Structure 1
Amino acid sequence: MSDAITHYRQLRELTIDELAYVLLMLDHPISADALAEMERCARPVTVDDLVSIAYALDTTPAVLLSHIPIDMPDPEGPLATGLPSDIDQTELRAWLEGKTALDRQSRVSWWKERAGRLRVRSAHHEEQLQGAYAELRELGDLAVEEADAPPVQRLQWRIQDGEHALNQSEVALALTEHRLHSLRGDV
């Protein structure tokens, strides 16, 4: 959680002193020294502190609790003591937000719903990409001759962005389906 406080404080471009001032204005005074200790894991964060800090940083307690630094290596065990060892950050956040339980059946249902949403997203990206390809085909030789023209460049960017979005959603879907099969015991 200490990294989460630092991350969201910096994201909001606040110094520790400024965050301490915001908390004071919210009637939950925490000194800058105490905040610095929290960020260094040298001081525990109470539930009241968590709620006030999350509000001051325009996020939620669940986001702060489920924050995992991008440069953190994959954990060898669970994200937190007592949790299933295969839970990931998105499922953890869903659980913290009360959107799922952590029993096997609930987890399978949550991953099935997630796979369904990703299938819809992939289909949407595919449809958008095919529309952009059709526009490019309609331009024909003009697209090659006028490749520097702003409308042609925007169309090329749309295609590039669409290919990237489609690729990302397909990778996410494949990973989700793999997790779903693992939970079901299919793998």
Structure 2
Amino acid sequence: MPSLTPTSLAVSDAITHYRQIRELTRDELAYVLQMAGHALSADAIAEMENRDRPVGVDDLVAIAYALGTTPAVLLTHIPIDMPAPEGPLATGLPGDVGQAEARAWIEGRTQLDHSSRSRWWLNEVGRLRVLVAYHDEQLQAVRAEISDLGELAVQEEDTPQVQVLHERVREGEHALSQSEIALALAERQLDELRAQLA
């Protein structure tokens, strides 16, 4: 089996991943592709998924359409079993370009020159700060709701309504934690880009 580049590995795994999410067999995907005017056999799909056959641009576009996703999603897919990359996430890109930034570039929402990358990360930091504030506000609101119930919340903790409130607290804490981590990583990336200019 030939050694594949990061982007080829991503696309091969993404085809399998999104085909399985859509609960399609390879034969069914081949049929959908045939109906869309792009003949590709189930064996050819298997070869692509098994990394024995490269995925051409025409195949990429047709498969993305058939799977109800976009070429950008397939190109920036990260296989779940992929070890930490030793190089760039996608072929030919700088090693510090992550999935979200690569997808934004593929979709034409940013460029990868230093100035554009700095602006993109500055916007990302701003977006994540808003997200952190939103999750914090939502979490405080549900905690206040429980607090307003006072002793009743303790006495009735087994009731579905109180359990729903406690589940919302757990979900809110998780969402807040994840957004804070994402913000910290984005701030670090922005700081590193700024340091490169110094």
Instruction: Name the TM-score, length of structure 1 as normaliser.
Output: 0.96
| Residue number among 3, 11, 34 corresponding to 1:24 in the alignment | 34
**What is the alpha-carbon distance in structure 1 between the residues aligned to residue 133 and residue 14 of structure 2?**
34
* 1:68 Cα offset (Å): 1.2
Percent of aligned pairs with the same amino acid: 66
Aligned residues: 187
What is the aligned-residue RMSD (CA, Å)?
A: 1.3
- What amino acid does structure 1 have at the position aligned with 2:102? L
* 1:43 Cα offset (Å): 1.5
**What is the alpha-carbon distance in structure 2 between the residues aligned to residue 79 and residue 119 of structure 1?**
25
Superposed counterparts of 1:102-181, under 5 Å: 102-181=112-191
Q: Within the alignment, does 1:48 sit opposite 2:83 as a pair?
A: no
The residue number in structure 2 matching 1:3 is 13
* 1:80 Cα offset (Å): 2.8
Superposed counterparts of 1:50-129, under 5 Å: 50-129=60-139
**What is the alpha-carbon distance in structure 1 between the residues aligned to residue 160 and residue 49 of structure 2?**
47
- What amino acid does structure 2 have at the position aligned with 1:79? L
Shift >4 Å, 4+ stretches: none
* 1:81 Cα offset (Å): 3.1
**What is the alpha-carbon distance in structure 2 between the residues aligned to residue 80 and residue 141 of structure 1?**
55
Q: Any idea what the Cα deviations from partners look like across 1:24-74, whole Å, max 9, x if unmatched? A: 111111011111111122212221111100000000011111111022111
Gaps of 5+ in 2: 1-10
**What is the alpha-carbon distance in structure 2 between the residues aligned to residue 149 and residue 40 of structure 1?**
50
The residue number in structure 2 matching 1:12 is 22
- What amino acid does structure 2 have at the position aligned with 1:106? S
* 1:9 Cα offset (Å): 0.7
- What amino acid does structure 1 have at the position aligned with 2:166? Q
Instruction: Name the TM-score, length of structure 2 as normaliser.
Output: 0.91
**What is the alpha-carbon distance in structure 2 between the residues aligned to residue 41 and residue 15 of structure 1?**
17
Q: Any idea what the Cα deviations from partners look like across 1:109-129, whole Å, max 9, x if unmatched? A: 111111111111111111111
Alignment partner of 1:185: what SS? helix
**What is the alpha-carbon distance in structure 2 between the residues aligned to residue 81 and residue 15 of structure 1?**
29
Gaps of 5+ in 1: none
**What is the alpha-carbon distance in structure 1 between the residues aligned to residue 114 and residue 122 of structure 2?**
12
**What is the alpha-carbon distance in structure 1 between the residues aligned to residue 23 and residue 131 of structure 2?**
33
* 1:169 Cα offset (Å): 0.6
**What is the alpha-carbon distance in structure 2 between the residues aligned to residue 5 and residue 50 of structure 1?**
9
**What is the alpha-carbon distance in structure 1 between the residues aligned to residue 43 and residue 23 of structure 2?**
18
**What is the alpha-carbon distance in structure 2 between the residues aligned to residue 155 and residue 75 of structure 1?**
40
